[in-house]
Structure 1
Amino acid sequence: MSKLLDPKVMMAIKELSLSAKMTIDGFMSGINKSTIKGSGLEFSQYRSYQPGDDLRSLDWKMFARSDRYYIRESEVETNISIRFLLDASASMQHQDGDFTKMDYARYLAASLAYLGNRQGDAIGLYVFKEGGVFSLAPKQDFQHLSRLFYQIEQIQASGHFTRPVHYKELYAGSGKRELLVLMTDMYQQGDEIFNLLDTLNTLRHEVIVFHLMSANELELDFKGYSTFEDLESGKSIQIDQQQVKNTYQQKLQAFLSDTRTKLLDKGIFYRMMRTDMPLDEALRDFLNQRNKLKI
């Protein structure tokens, strides 16, 4: 199964619905299980009966054994709205091997959308591109999931990141809190992505950031290249990779550490994700880390 879930192989499938199903089926158990007590199916604990409690929750077997009234509580699953935010600026065209960061973001978003939909959550989309924000309101049905897959497939990464003047779409929702999952390479001309995250924080949403990095940029391993071009500004620079490698990696690690610290200080869940890591492994690691933080 791992071989089939390698991004290079998944690209050949060219159907997000199929690849998402393969990624999720069989080993994932959810990203938003709550600890709210109620009348669900999974037993949690007993507590003493209090006046006003629903009599239908009384456990009569416990009463027969103890001659006391107990309420049987369970953990319930809470349905939420999840909106996937995709950075569609030109830097997401950065390529390592046969696929780009945008390709990886597509499959990552589709896989988590499939998971959320299967759990009964409402799924929506924001695409941040030059000139505006594309918005698809959250809904919970399979036809809507197909529309979301179609919109993700149509994304073409180009231009600069969306300017704040176009953020009106962010305020046009239902006003309810959502789980927002941003997929970006954190490439900024200024602080535009940090400013976006500040805006999302003011709306009191829970935010997760997947910071996509390719192996060749993490390791400065661009075989045969000495000239590098900025995909957004068009500027180019010539470097000797071996000569600058140590300095580059020191500055890169400082940048990654600073980015992580800034986001955690804002109460944002941060995860750097390598695009050469098979999606099933990457998502399993993410879910395990997230569940540990919720304990």
Structure 2
Amino acid sequence: MSGIISAAVMMAIKDLALAARTTIDGFMQGLNKSNIKGAGLEFSQYRSYQPGDDLRWLDWKMYARSDRYYIRESETETSISVRLLVDASGSMGHKDGAFSKMDYARYLAASLAWLANLQGDAIGLYAFQHGELFALPSRKDPQHLNRIFYQLERLQPAGHFTTPVAYNSIFTNSRQRELLIFISDLYQTHNEIMPLLESLSAYRHEVVVLHLMADNELNMDFAGYTTLQDLETGETMAVSSNTTQEHKDTVQAWIEAQRKYLLEKNISYRLMRTSEPVEKALTDFLRQRNKNTA
């Protein structure tokens, strides 16, 4: 399937595994023209098989999907543990049009899981919701990937972010390299998120934050509404033309503060708009990550 698929079209695919596979197929077609290299969710380019190539580097999964032979060129052949940390608190229920930040997070996490599985990485899923933590520890097998899809499909935004007392299962003594990808809008009521990310980074694993924001949040585009309600606290605020620009400036300043704080803690950061096609977001993110780790 060629071409970049819009986020709105992708949200219409109800089968999460199909949506993830479709996204990653498009993503990998883009990699044929790129140069993203490294370990753990990072691919080198694929090229067509040429007579004399070592058959050990033939990618049979690519052949099964495309009926063409591809050689995978990679600088490193290492597998790692990829843990997907998904914020499922009430604020992730915010909508811009037909779908919510939670919908986008669900498809983004599923696509990352599919990509990690293709890499041969172990995958785990952790969901933060109702003050508690759902944990599906990292494993490397196809059935585990299906379990992750099943749990993501069931995940609905509600309640507050997880309280620190429930964080214990995230911290492991594993000596295996780990990549922790945190998908969230970074909204917090009692400073729950930043100390968690700082603690995870202290374990010397790589931590990446994918910060989801909707266009109507960034642009304060709430035509027809006179009040807005916080989905976690229930608090409301009035909307008027006088407050719109002030709010936009406040949001931009807040985003920049989050970015600077995380980068100071050696945590990678990328702002992702929920209107952005997932495969484009993934390509841009991995290119950025490749530069940061080069």
* TM-score, normalization by structure 1: 0.81
- Secondary structure (helix, strand or coil) at the match of 2:12 reads helix
The answer on whether the counterparts of 1:90 and 1:231 sit within 8 Å (CA) in structure 2 is: yes
| Aligned match of 2:128 | 128
- Secondary structure (helix, strand or coil) at the match of 1:24 reads helix
AA in 2 matched with 1:164: P
Alpha-carbon distance between aligned partners in 2 of 1:246 and 1:237, rounded to the nearest angstrom: 15
Alpha-carbon distance between aligned partners in 1 of 2:154 and 2:173, rounded to the nearest angstrom: 23
Q: How far apart are 1:272 and its partner, in Å?
A: 0.5
1:20-59 aligned within 5 A: 20-28=20-28, 29=31, 33-34=38-39
The answer on whether the counterparts of 1:123 and 1:139 sit within 8 Å (CA) in structure 2 is: yes
AA in 2 matched with 1:20: A
AA in 2 matched with 1:206: E
Q: How far apart are 1:177 and its partner, in Å?
A: 3.8
| Aligned match of 1:243 | 242
| Aligned match of 2:199 | 199
Alpha-carbon distance between aligned partners in 2 of 1:262 and 1:144, rounded to the nearest angstrom: 34
Bigger drift between 263-272 and 1-10 goes to: 1-10
* TM-score, normalization by structure 2: 0.82
The answer on whether the counterparts of 1:2 and 1:278 sit within 8 Å (CA) in structure 2 is: no
Once the two structures are superposed, residues 201-239 of structure 1 have per-residue CA deviations (whole angstroms, 9 ceiling, x without a partner) of 232221000000000010000110011111111111212
Change beyond 3 A, Cα 1:31–1:195: farther
- Secondary structure (helix, strand or coil) at the match of 2:222 reads coil
AA in 2 matched with 1:33: G
The answer on whether the counterparts of 1:95 and 1:101 sit within 8 Å (CA) in structure 2 is: yes
Alpha-carbon distance between aligned partners in 2 of 1:155 and 1:133, rounded to the nearest angstrom: 12
Change beyond 3 A, Cα 1:27–1:155: closer
1:60-99 aligned within 5 A: 75-99=75-99
- Secondary structure (helix, strand or coil) at the match of 2:116 reads helix
1:133-212 aligned within 5 A: 133-172=133-172, 174=174, 176-212=176-212
| Aligned match of 2:256 | 257
1:10 and 2:10 matched: yes
Change beyond 3 A, Cα 1:27–1:93: closer
Bigger drift between 18-27 and 183-192 goes to: 18-27
AA in 1 matched with 2:38: K
Q: How far apart are 1:170 and its partner, in Å?
A: 1.5
Alpha-carbon distance between aligned partners in 2 of 1:198 and 1:288, rounded to the nearest angstrom: 24
The answer on whether the counterparts of 1:215 and 1:276 sit within 8 Å (CA) in structure 2 is: yes
Bigger drift between 74-83 and 136-145 goes to: 74-83
The answer on whether the counterparts of 2:10 and 2:19 sit within 8 Å (CA) in structure 1 is: yes
**Identity in percent:** 52
How many residues are aligned here? Answer: 257
Change beyond 3 A, Cα 1:201–1:292: closer
Change beyond 3 A, Cα 1:14–1:252: same
- RMSD, aligned CA: 2.2
Alpha-carbon distance between aligned partners in 2 of 1:198 and 1:158, rounded to the nearest angstrom: 24
Alpha-carbon distance between aligned partners in 2 of 1:14 and 1:26, rounded to the nearest angstrom: 18
Bigger drift between 88-97 and 140-149 goes to: 140-149
Change beyond 3 A, Cα 1:125–1:173: farther
AA in 1 matched with 2:215: A
| Aligned match of 1:66 | none
Change beyond 3 A, Cα 1:206–1:192: same
Alpha-carbon distance between aligned partners in 2 of 1:221 and 1:27, rounded to the nearest angstrom: 30
The answer on whether the counterparts of 1:124 and 1:137 sit within 8 Å (CA) in structure 2 is: yes
- Secondary structure (helix, strand or coil) at the match of 1:124 reads strand
AA in 2 matched with 1:221: D
AA in 2 matched with 1:131: G
The answer on whether the counterparts of 1:137 and 1:173 sit within 8 Å (CA) in structure 2 is: no
Change beyond 3 A, Cα 1:226–1:2: farther
- Runs of 5+ consecutive residues of structure 1 not aligned to the other structure: 36-73
Larger of the two Rg values belongs to structure: 1
The answer on whether the counterparts of 2:79 and 2:121 sit within 8 Å (CA) in structure 1 is: yes
Alpha-carbon distance between aligned partners in 2 of 1:261 and 1:96, rounded to the nearest angstrom: 26
- Runs of 5+ consecutive residues of structure 2 not aligned to the other structure: 41-73
Alpha-carbon distance between aligned partners in 2 of 1:248 and 1:282, rounded to the nearest angstrom: 26
Once the two structures are superposed, residues 51-93 of structure 1 have per-residue CA deviations (whole angstroms, 9 ceiling, x without a partner) of xxxxxxxxxxxxxxxxxxxxxxx94311000000000100000
Bigger drift between 79-88 and 7-16 goes to: 7-16
